[in-house]
Amino acid sequence: MSSPRIPLAGVIGHPVAHSKSPRLHGHWLRKYGLPGFYVPMDVAPDDLETVLRTLPKVGFVGANVTVPHKEAALEIADVASDRATLIGAANTLTFREDGKIYADNTDGYGFIENLRQGAPDWDPKAGPAMVLGAGGASRAILASLLHAGVPEIMLSNRTRLRADALHHEFGTRIQVVDWVQAGNALEDAALVVNTTALGMTGKPELRIPLDGLQKQAVVTDIVYTPLKTHLLQVAEEIGCHTVDGLGMLIYQAVPGFERWFGQRPEVDETVRKVILE
Ligand code: ATR
């Protein structure tokens, strides 16, 4: 009789050394005493399909995919969730027993869950959201906000054309605002989200005038190094509720871990510390 295989999973990127996912999944595996390994895999774009078809044959039950593979992974997959199809990218792959690769995108889930836990009083239907940035992260966040029932989203991006493209794709609940005008459009905003990398250590700060913002508004950032970005600092000074970006990274990992290792992991202060160490 053969003994049960130890489940393997990992993160595929190029590069991948910066990824916090091995630390996160490793912490949960140890915490719950589960058999399993989670490893980083640096895979060049040309090798992605071969690697994805080989991993299930050598004991892998799933994988996260990160930059630059998220769109290609969705194309390669045999089956995809509605949210991955809508976003046009995958971050969580499950290698099913029938041999098919199932693609999901949990970035928007991670974003909303972080927001719900960090700002329990935030009501998606309370008013419009202002979303800054129109890249890959923005796509996932826009989809999740629309799904959560946010009535209207003002979208602002340095390169207006990219915001216009998302408006055409996602529909009339998204209104494009000029990048230089973003600060003037905040009066009604119930939520402000930075989806750009501005404010991250080593990058310029995101400097948007928040004077018009109401105190009841919630301000959140997907950047988590530093935890308190300039945007969040200014928002706090105004009296707004702020939510840092670390939770988005943690919550987006929850569905994959549960699917692959059979345990829904808890998100607590310890896991936040483990990532920041
Ligand atoms: P991601 O997948 O992480 O969202 P991305 O697709 O490269 O990455 O998108 C990066 C986002 O940050 C974009 O909205 C980008 O604006 P542009 O579309 O104008 O490039 C924004 N961004 C990056 N650097 C910026 C800067 N210095 N000023 C303003 N926006 C910036």
Angstrom CA distances, 188 to 93, 104, 127, 160, stand at: 39, 33, 7, 22
The pLDDT tens digits of the residues spanning 87-120 come to 999 999 999 999 999 999 999 999 999 999 999 9
Here the tokens at position 9 are: 């999973």
54 Cα to the center of ligand 1, angstroms: 34
Q: What is the mean pLDDT of residues 130-141?
A: 97
pLDDT at 19 over 70: yes
60 Cα to the center of ligand 1, angstroms: 33
What per-residue confidence (pLDDT) applies to 5?
Answer: 86
ipTM: 0.97
Query: Looking at residue 71, what DSSP letter applies?
Result: H
The pLDDT tens digits of the residues spanning 36-86 come to 999 999 999 999 999 999 999 999 999 999 999 999 999 999 999 999 999
What per-residue confidence (pLDDT) applies to 9?
Answer: 98
Query: Residue whose CA is closest, atom 5 of ligand 1?
Result: 135
Atom from ligand 1 closest to the CA of residue 158:
19
Confidence category of residue 2, pLDDT binned at 50, 70, 90? low
Residue in 31, 70, 215, 273 annotated catalytic: 70
Q: Please give the annotated binding residues, written as ranges.
A: 19-21, 66, 82, 91, 107, 133-137, 157-162, 222, 224, 245, 252
Contact 182, 159 (CB under 8 A): no
| Residue of 130, 141, 142, 158 with the most ligand 1 atoms within 8 Å of its CB, for mutation | 158
Pocket residues for ligand 1 (CB within 6 Å)?
A: 133-138, 157-159, 162, 195-198, 204
Strands 129-132 and 153-157: parallel
Give the N- to C-terminal CA distance of the chain in Å, as an integer.
Answer: 42
Q: Please give the annotated binding residues for shikimate, written as ranges.
A: 19-21, 66, 91, 107, 224, 252
Enclosing H/E stretch for 92? strand 92-95
Q: What's the Rg (C-alpha) of the chain?
A: 19
What per-residue confidence (pLDDT) applies to 64?
Answer: 98
Confidence category of residue 143, pLDDT binned at 50, 70, 90? very high
Q: The whole model's pTM is what?
A: 0.96
Is position 203 annotated as part of the catalytic site? no
The pLDDT tens digits of the residues spanning 195-229 come to 999 999 999 999 999 999 999 999 999 999 999 99
Q: In whole angstroms, give the CA distance from residue 162 to residue 159.
A: 6
How many angstroms separate the most distant Cα atoms in the chain?
Answer: 69
pLDDT at 1 over 60: no
135 Cα to the center of ligand 1, angstroms: 6
In order of their start, the domains of the chain are 8-105 (3.40.50.10860), 108-247 (3.40.50.720)
